[in-house]
Structure 1
Amino acid sequence: MSMLSVGYKNLSQALYIGKAQIIINQIKFAISSKYELYVADAVPEELTEVDLVMLEYNGDDEAALANIHQLLTVAKGVDLFVVLVKKDADFMLAASHLGVRGFVDAEKDIEHLLSVIHMQDRRRDGKTGMISCFFSLKGGVGRTALATNIASNIDAMASNHAVLLDLNVPLGDTSLYLDMDENRMYTVTDFIHNFTRFDDKLIYKSLNQHPSGLYVLPLPAEIAELDSLNGHMIKNILEVLRKYFDHIVIDCADNFSDVILSCLDQADNIVLVSETSLSSLRATNKGLQVIRRLGYNEAAIKLIMNRYHAGSDTYLNQIIEALQVPTVFYVNNDFMLFNESLKNAVLINAFSKESVVNQQLVRIAQDLHLDEDKSFVFKTEKQVRPVIKSQKERSFQGWWQALRAKRLGGKD
């Protein structure tokens, strides 16, 4: 057995059994944030302190099944995944019966291997697709733009098994951001009328799919069709979508209607979107108060501070601290980038892949999709958040009033 990576503290141990060097290098890179990778040509006689095993399959059923049997004997309790260089349905069925945890498509899945493993674990444990609700009590903060672009990044990690659900009632704009003709799209109300008909084939044929691979379920163009939409209907929609998709991203309306509460009730992530204006910060605080009063899991609450820029007011940074949200993300203030990508009808990950904003959106997508309690803050190197120690315990209202006085001179 040869070690392929430099040892890092707190990393789990992964073993790859196979000889395809290109695949080995790709896997090494893909899991480097969580696993230290070792490689072997054959199944070792014993395995200790290994948390994940991946076996390469090239079409030799007899040898692969023998290796699987041996691995499950010497590595009891260790997760075993088969990396499919070639696909064979009969082999996959036989391997599943032996106890293989899951399968990885060598051509499509390796780039997002951690996500693939994570979602297969959720299915094995009886968990269905994740739900991330993007919410704000004030419009104009960039919620739809963020939800659309982050959903696209999640979809890439989920191997095109993510769906964007537009519930920004009554006038959702996701079809606009995705440059899709809303008059020809299969909508939420169409979905409601076909609850009992969906199966593995029909649902993917029915829903609209963006060229990037992201599935989209928009609001109908006719407002009158929304009369039947209520919290109970939304609960049913989400239950069906969770069966067929690994992640549902919802662009919520800016209210606490029964429709939106039904979404929040089932959310794995409640993503509050704010920007740096006084009115937006106040609305975010009020939204947080209601969400906490309703008893939602604190760990599920995330905050995206949109249109943030380095060198912001000290008071602004203290307001963000005072909101007491454990996970805060920052998205740079880059109006030109968002505007040009929208004008060219191209998502940011395709329009400017190397931009700082796209990197920030990808990191947010990773956090939401991998469902890990990181409890940390993403920020660029220049986004330092100074603390005035003598006033550190000031409340949100106190900091908000201080920022208001500074910006407006204390005037309305």
Structure 2
Amino acid sequence: MAIKIIIVDDVLEMREMIVKMLASSELVYELVGICGNGQEALDLMKKTKADIVLMDINMPVMNGLEATQLMVENFPHVRVIMMSVQHESEYLKKAMLAGAKAYIMKPVDMDELVETIKTTYERHQYLDKPLSVETQSHDATLISFFSAKGGVGKSMLALNSSLIINEKLKKKTLLVDLDLQFGDLALMVNKQNELTIKEMFDDSPITNYEEIKPYLHNFRDGFDMLFAPKDPESAEYISSEQVKSILMILKKYYDVIIIDTGVNYNEVTLNALDLSDLIVIVTNLEVTGLKNTKLSLKVMQSLNYDETKVKLLVNMAHEKFGVTKANVQKAFSFDVIGYIPEDIKLVRNAINTGIPTIATKSSSLYKPLLSFCQSIIK
């Protein structure tokens, strides 16, 4: 079915450029109108039905923010994608508050334009379908991966542990990227254009699993992923209570939920740690990493997390530079649950290609990771 589109921009050259981009793409669409300001778009909507409106912000007569607010109030089926040269987060916030479902920066990139139209339209179609009843036969174990220092491989370990838990341990698994400002899990599986947790909260309040499903990326059978926002400023629009509510819903549909937290102690991270059955603190054998880990363990103790809830996982383990496993065991009162050896070439290649080959049996890291996963999943 063709996606019905209206283009709204006061600049003739911009309107013509978008028309040419759409025409040269493989998108199945019908252009039902071209307007020079928000008032024209509203008048047109009374005469024709559109699925998607591409809306500029700064226009005469009626700007895009005013037009969007009136449009979503009077025509709730339509989805507005805002376009603007304004890169400030305040404009993004105003656009979303007005009711826009996506935001594209000018100059417009054709691939981004087409992908945004497709994903926004598909999400709209999915949410308009009657909800089906799905069996709630699970009560997921929540496991958070946390690190006190960036660059220790936390996200890589969270991703590959999830893959092993799903494939080898036969658990229905969900991986949630809660590093809301700088999460990289989408990049690590080469899925940067997928929907994120941000778009989920842009739509109607989430009350059940069926409303969450369109925003989950199905990586393979029994393994789903929920990605972090594409831009850091979006994090401020996601509250800890919103995150808590969806985790409580998702617990009923998975055996294991892995949470990749941010390197911080903000409300979202602290809430995730509170909800978790197990916290895996990832560190390495560098002195700076161990120092920060020790400080983090003090925070964990102040939160009344004991050794049954908090475990240490040492990544990039080697003894070439003076810090030994014995030093680590002596330094910390919490259990070290595993040591993952260093393989810089393998890890770098997996990250750069977006193919998580670390979790394959031919990998040098597979057996240590499998042993770690078996120790945390009973």
TM-score greater than 0.5 by the shorter chain? yes
Q: Amino acid of the residue matched to residue 254 of structure 1?
A: V
CA distance in 2, matches of 1:222, 1:298: 35
Equivalent residue number for residue 338 of structure 1:
347
Q: Amino acid of the residue matched to residue 258 of structure 1?
A: E
Partner SS state of residue 298, structure 1: coil
Partner SS state of residue 365, structure 2: helix
Matched, 1:177 2:160: no
Q: 1:172 to 1:179 in 2, by over 3 A?
A: same
- Normalised to the residue count of structure 1, the TM-score between the two structures is 0.54
Matched, 1:155 2:163: no
Partner SS state of residue 210, structure 1: strand
CA distance in 1, matches of 2:167, 2:175: 13
Matched, 1:305 2:314: yes
Q: Amino acid of the residue matched to residue 172 of structure 2?
A: H
Equivalent residue number for residue 143 of structure 1:
154
Query: Which of 293, 296, 299 in structure 1 is aligned with 2:302?
Result: 293
Matched, 1:250 2:263: no
Partner SS state of residue 163, structure 1: strand
Q: State whether residues 128 and 243 of structure 1, in contact with CA within 8 Å, keep that contact through their aligned partners in structure 2.
A: yes
Partner SS state of residue 251, structure 1: strand
State how 1:114-133 maps to structure 2 within 5 Å. Answer: 128-133=139-144
Q: CA deviation at 1:310?
A: 5.3
Q: CA deviation at 1:369?
A: 2.3
Equivalent residue number for residue 89 of structure 1:
none
Partner SS state of residue 235, structure 2: helix
Matched, 1:365 2:361: no
- Normalised to the residue count of structure 2, the TM-score between the two structures is 0.59
Partner SS state of residue 297, structure 1: coil
Q: State whether residues 181 and 233 of structure 2, in contact with CA within 8 Å, keep that contact through their aligned partners in structure 1.
A: no
CA distance in 1, matches of 2:212, 2:243: 17
For structure 2, which runs of at least 5 residues remain unmatched after alignment?
Answer: 1-135
Equivalent residue number for residue 268 of structure 1:
277
CA distance in 1, matches of 2:248, 2:276: 12
Q: Amino acid of the residue matched to residue 354 of structure 1?
A: S
Q: CA deviation at 1:316?
A: 5.6
State how 1:1-400 maps to structure 2 within 5 Å. Answer: 128-157=139-168, 159=170, 161-181=172-192, 184-192=193-201, 193-199=203-209, 203-211=212-220, 213-309=222-318, 313=322, 317-349=326-358, 352-370=360-378
CA distance in 2, matches of 1:207, 1:284: 32
CA distance in 1, matches of 2:198, 2:320: 46
Q: Amino acid of the residue matched to residue 233 of structure 1?
A: Q
Q: Amino acid of the residue matched to residue 174 of structure 2?
A: V
Q: Amino acid of the residue matched to residue 219 of structure 2?
A: H
CA distance in 1, matches of 2:242, 2:342: 37
Q: State whether residues 272 and 304 of structure 1, in contact with CA within 8 Å, keep that contact through their aligned partners in structure 2.
A: yes
Q: CA deviation at 1:344?
A: 3.5
Q: CA deviation at 1:332?
A: 0.3
Q: 1:331 to 1:317 in 2, by over 3 A?
A: same
Partner SS state of residue 254, structure 1: coil
1:14-63, CA deviations, whole angstroms, 9 ceiling, x for partnerless residues?
Answer: xxxxxxxxxxxxxxxxxxxxxxxxxxxxxxxxxxxxxxxxxxxxxxxxxx
Q: CA deviation at 1:287?
A: 0.3
CA distance in 2, matches of 1:290, 1:180: 34
204-213 vs 324-333, greater mean Cα deviation = 204-213
Q: CA deviation at 1:149?
A: 0.7
1:297-322, CA deviations, whole angstroms, 9 ceiling, x for partnerless residues?
Answer: 32111111111125663666223332
Q: State whether residues 177 and 228 of structure 2, in contact with CA within 8 Å, keep that contact through their aligned partners in structure 1.
A: yes
309-318 vs 258-267, greater mean Cα deviation = 309-318
CA distance in 2, matches of 1:151, 1:194: 29
CA distance in 2, matches of 1:260, 1:138: 14
Which aligned runs of 4 or more in structure 1 are off by greater than 6 angstroms? none
Tell me the percent identity.
26
